[in-house]
Structure 1
Amino acid sequence: MAIRRGSAALLSLLVALVWLVPSAFADDAKDAGRPSVPQTQQVQRAQVQPAQAQVLTWTGNNSLNEYGEAPTTATAGAATLVFENSVATGNTSGMTHTLTFDTSTPGYNHDVDVDIVASPFDANGGRHEVQVNLSPGKYRFFCAIPGHQQMQGVLTVTEGGEQDTTAPTVTAEVTGDQDAEGNYLGSATVSVSAEDAESGVAGIEYAVGEGDFQPYSEPVTLAEPGDYTVQYRATDNAGNTSDPGSVSFTVAEGEPEDNTPPEVTAELAGNQDADGNYLGAATVILNAQDAGSGVAGIEYDLDGAGFADYSEPVRVTELGEHTVAYRATDNAGNVSEAGSATFTVIEGSQDDTTPPHVMAEVTGQQDGDGNYVGSAAVNLTAHDAESGVDTVEYSLDGGMYTPYTEPVVVSAIGSHTVEYRATDLAGNTSEPGSVSFAVVEGQPDDTAPTVTAEVTGEQDGDGAYLGAATVVISAEDAESGVASVEYALGESEFTGYTDPVEVTEPGEHTVAYRATDNAGNVSEAGSVTFTVVEGSQEDTTAPETSIRITGEQDWEWSYIDLAKITLLAEDDESGVALIEYSFGEGSFRPYRIPLTVLDPGEYTVHYRATDNAGNTSEVGTARFRIVADGVHCTVSDARETVVVGDTDTGVANVDTGNGCTINDLIVEEAGYPDQAAFVSHVRQVARDLEAQGVITAQERKAIVSAARGVPVPSAA
């Protein structure tokens, strides 16, 4: 049933009249001296009266993200749903909300159709009621107002008359900086959480050592050095209390005081002439890192005007020579020496009017239908070949645009759409792109990534490294995917790992390493120990790099519809450790597999390589153009059915609408690093074809299933 605006008030009035009219007649009959209804009839009437329905109440307030009050459990049968969105419930802004039951997402009950719109200014003053009949299972509810879709939840309905006799499930997690032996440095924080699928959690308690249990409301931090055991338990609304669990750990003295200032770097971006002058404008981008207490702030001074706080790239348009000084302060109060960058801005013949190019990638554990199990992570990248990227933003399910700083992890069950856009330093904003996907219930990823480390370099007869040793760390996570990798050299704190770690100081060294996946699981810290000695000959030669761009070209040497980029590097001494690339003024990223660029436009790609001795090659540059053309497969794979490897899928190998068949689009010889990368390629091709209506969902599954059985040779 659907209830809109004032309809609930009319329904309530009619219900009231139905109950009032018999009472009025009875009173009239009694006043007129008429016989009263026999007692047996009164009993019979009482027996057919409906049982009093349970009342479930939702409230709205000024929040766009959650209901003020929302039930999570109920009993099967009749129920009165109350939705109040008024000043009394905290809505002082006059905002409209809805209480809408999901009737389409798989995995939920769809037999209750409720869509109540409430506002403090409607005819009911924001309070509405509706009578429903609930079935055992789960109902998903949400606010359908655009931008409010994060207001959502799940109502779990159990069989009527069942009693909850199961205690809550309780878990605890200990976090903090650790040394190589697992001791927590300076302090440890214990976070406790509990779940109860039946009556719900009423409260959580904890006890430190032999102390009494006390209510838990927030994470408990223990800073005094020593050994600890923290017990925890929870009680549900039916009075069931879990058996106590416990975690034991040691808190050790913290790291020595940080007396090292941050490291600050400056990067200049913009269009340049042959002499290195910036045309029309130059943009100064500052970055700082501090491995001790962390960066507290960055400052800059443009042309001696005095230091000011740096919060975003500084765009300089005034013609002439300029000098920007910069410095940073860490949380321990250490201030770096001021660095500087000097540049010249001259008149530019062409302003940047082209917006950035933005790309999205969805990662996570998937089922056979391509749905993401438990959660999905959306990764955004942007590049701008002219003035450079200023900001990247995203919108989840029609919500407000939010600055993008890290992968967007979506765990709410159902279908989702993430829109994204980017703005360059010239103020051009791209047209919004979007990616859609579904998250389904399933076994959550509770397995940490697998991390390995390899030490490379020239060694003597005793296994010691001559002059330098390079530690290369790699991580894999087959479920939700790797989110980050960290390392710690000696007794230093863990820091983000992006490039191989070169160690040149003579002596024995230990490098610890760990990784975190997109589900938040952190691996146990591993470590490698090695010795560096003075070297007689040091590798000072950077790798040799080359690039190969392939694809069909027109008479102007432009690539038609797509271009594939393959990067190569060789190093005859210590060996190649890393190859990187960037588009335009974007940041360098690790190169793993050949890159395919599809969007028409002008492109500049930069590339470089680093060897195991830490030598980085000069940056190579290649420029190319992609143009749109209806047909680009002049020699097509015309087999009747789609064949992946040696498997005939039985799917018709049709023309995809641009002169290419499905077999043409599946590239098996691309130097994939592993089986998963090839399957990911095939899955993306099949999804695109399904979205275009070329193949059905069943045909997509058949193609992807065949890809899983193809042995793919390593890119190495």
Structure 2
Amino acid sequence: MSPRLIAVLLTAFLAVLGLATPAAATPAAAPVQTLTWTGNNSTTEYASAPTGALPGETTVVFENSEATGNTTGMSHTLTFDTSTPGYNHDVSLNILANPFDPTNGRHEAVVTLTPGKYRYYCTIPGHTAMVGEFVVSDGTGDTTPPAVTAAVAGDRDPSGSYLGSATVTLSATDAGSGVASVEYQLDGGAWTTYAAPVVVSTAGTHMLHYRATDVAGNTSAEGMAHFTIVARPGDTTAPSVSAAITGTQDSSGNYLDVATARITATDADSGVASVEYQLDSGAWTAYTAPVAVTAAGMHMLHYRATDVAGNISPEGMAHFTVVRSDTTAPVVSASLSGTQDADGHYVGKAVVTVTASDAGSGVASVEYKVDGGAWTAYAAPVPVSAAGSHTVGYRARDVAGNASAEGSVSFTVVAGGDTTAPSVALQITGKQDGGWNYVGSATVTVTATDAESGVGSVEYKVDESAWTRYAAPVVVPALGTHTVRARATDVAGNVAAEVAGSFRVVAAAPPPDACPSSDIRETVVIGGVDSQVENIDTGNGCTINDVIDENAEYASHDRFVKHVKAVTQELVANGVLSPGDRNRIVTAAIESGIGGDGRSVPAEGSARKASVRIG
């Protein structure tokens, strides 16, 4: 009898006796991975971001908090691109995070990724350089683990031991699906995700193991770095440590909204190993960046430092008070648009537009919910098309943390009418070079059509500018890469999906040099007479000496002087010469005697040696 059959019979027998253990319910499958982005005070890049992932359900974590280095209260978004060609557009994600929002800047979302490339960016004005991409690979064909190496650096004694501390830098590469993570384990401790070089300052012998995993799930063999740290000889002096509190203060010396503590430590012997601080009655914390304190009230900051030799400084202390300058919540409202019937019901669709303003610290976030659902970050007017009665709630929070009261609008949607959004198209025109760049400027033309209720409005935005009503083709002269977006709304209130196009504007090529063999003497010299006027380029590659052309043939000295007067007058008109410099040049021409005094001159009207055009 087979073991499987014996197990089946035994289970049935136990069930008869009432002793069988019921089968455990199958738990819901967890997301296959977690991808984390972080933000700090930078407006040009995310503090950290993934470069690769596996397909499937994924937890996205976006944290823009004091813990990740945001000490200024700056807002960032993590937004997935759903319009630029060449990327996957199947994930709609737009997370707004601020260190002072209800979740302290840490947000999560669950999305489903598919193989391909995704582009992400920050939509906050002025933060357009915060952009990146990552590749989702199914790992097909990649069975090779990453290559990972370690490099140990630091000052060493004659025996090879490291004096005071050693820094271990890990590097990993993967030519297949890409590196997903790098980890290290120090002296048998827990495996830790590697994010920056590891500084080890404890005296003794150390073993650091390391490994890397690629997107396809292949994990490298563990590597090992072995090294010994000894104390620097002769250091018995503790570090010197101080703190400075900065911020905007009121007349009483209180800090408005935020006080920033900056701790500085120095050690002339073995060097500073660590700096710590304790805020109020909290735990001692490693100091890595200025500490922003935003909680209103009196605060006590203790701080200390330890050097590589193990000497600990006396604790320092700073006392300060934070008060709120902005205690007023944002003003938030909502309006409804769409086609209404005789009873005031919205036909086919109602569009809810939420508006918030804050005269103090500024609006940090706006949220809405439909019919008691989850609160959602508000980014664009919200269409509601399901037939029936609806209530849309809304609220806002400012940067100082003040929250508005919740507002709501109620309405009814009935079937019928125009529920189809307009069609929108973009056309970019202009003179292009061989690389398809637009030379000098590009012209953006937007067209929209709607076969039912008709087009109500068309809007556009260039880069991160505000949405602007479109009335005529838009000329973009600014040099660089640009993204233009357009959308349209019909009379029934249906809003078209945004369309986007990217292009690059480059400067026009400079005109050819009109005088490739220029007279480049430092000053304007005519027939040996130095006018003391600088011999500058007139704008087309020709110098002033080139334009005067003293070596040409002139019918008489008087005709040469008239020629100099004419060309210098034109240079004054073009802003090349001042009237005073022109007078000095004309005087030099008069004194030069060119064209007369017995010189051989052609008859009037004879051809000159050269002709130079000004301008």
What TM-score, normalized by structure 1, do the two folds share? 0.25
More relative contact order in 1 or in 2 (CA 8 Å, sep 6+)?
A: 2
With the length of structure 2 as denominator, give the TM-score of the two structures.
0.28
Bigger CA radius of gyration? 2
